[in-house]
Amino acid sequence: MILSFTKYHGTGNDFIMIDSTKDDSFYLSNEQIRFLCDRRFGIGADGLILIYKEKDFSFKMQYHNADGTQSFCGNGARCAVHFSHSLNLFTDKAVFLAIDGVHEATLNNDTVTLKMNDVEKIQKLASTFILDTGSPHYVKFTEDVATQNMVEFGKKIRYSSAYKEKGINVNLVEILDENQLKMRTYERGVEDETYSCGTGATAAALAYAEMEKQKEIDVNILVKGGALAIKAKREHGHFSSIYLTGPAQKVFEGKLII
């Protein structure tokens, strides 16, 4: 089979995009996805996204981590919006379906603003917060994240007895000032540090707001691949009107025999 694809990245979080709108039965096995995402033998990516047509929605996004497992991905969703716009699936505003439900998004040139689902619950353990922003996240506040061994720490938490079975994304966060954080992420499904994580940036911003008791959240998150912006509202530990904004950039197109 000859597979046509488009490569995207959102602040260094990179994805293989596949247009499946003409064949709603199109399927890739986990083995094929792992091959395509392999950085030496395949195209190379943190994840793979299939775009399908979906009645009453702009499109449906099916996201796979590099190991083939499915989840929601904030940066992947932003890139999916940009890609779907290029397929003429919507004009001004996208309303699309993902594994965690319905999302809305707008596109302004190469900047995508994505509405995330409300977050009802945050578990706090000292300087650590555990919450789900479409994917589960372990957020730990620390100093000088640049010197931390992210992979070693991430594996320690991700493969601990509490999270070994289902996995968890691990984020180390440094507070730069009241509106700016620096974050590094170890992602389950990739099983390595990634250059960015949209659900992780959202989790970091919400955890920071919970810690500081902020009602209006407007935070910039610096990641290895650039910067993301998070806006949200907090009331009695409930977070709503959560928006993730950042660049989505097309890198190249190609064809591959699989």
Any idea which residues carry the catalytic annotation? 73, 197
Most distant pair of Cα atoms in the chain: their distance:
54
- 87 phi/psi in degrees, rounded to 5: -90, 5
| Sign, CA torsion 231/66/254/224 | positive
Contact status, residue 65 vs residue 190, Cβ threshold 8 Å: yes
- Tokens 């395509």 sit on residue: 36
Inter-axis angle of helices 198-212 and 74-86, nearest 10: 130
Given the structure tokens 């996208």, which residue do they identify?
94
Phi, psi of 139 (to 5 degrees): -115, 120
Neighbours of 102 (CB within 10 A): 12
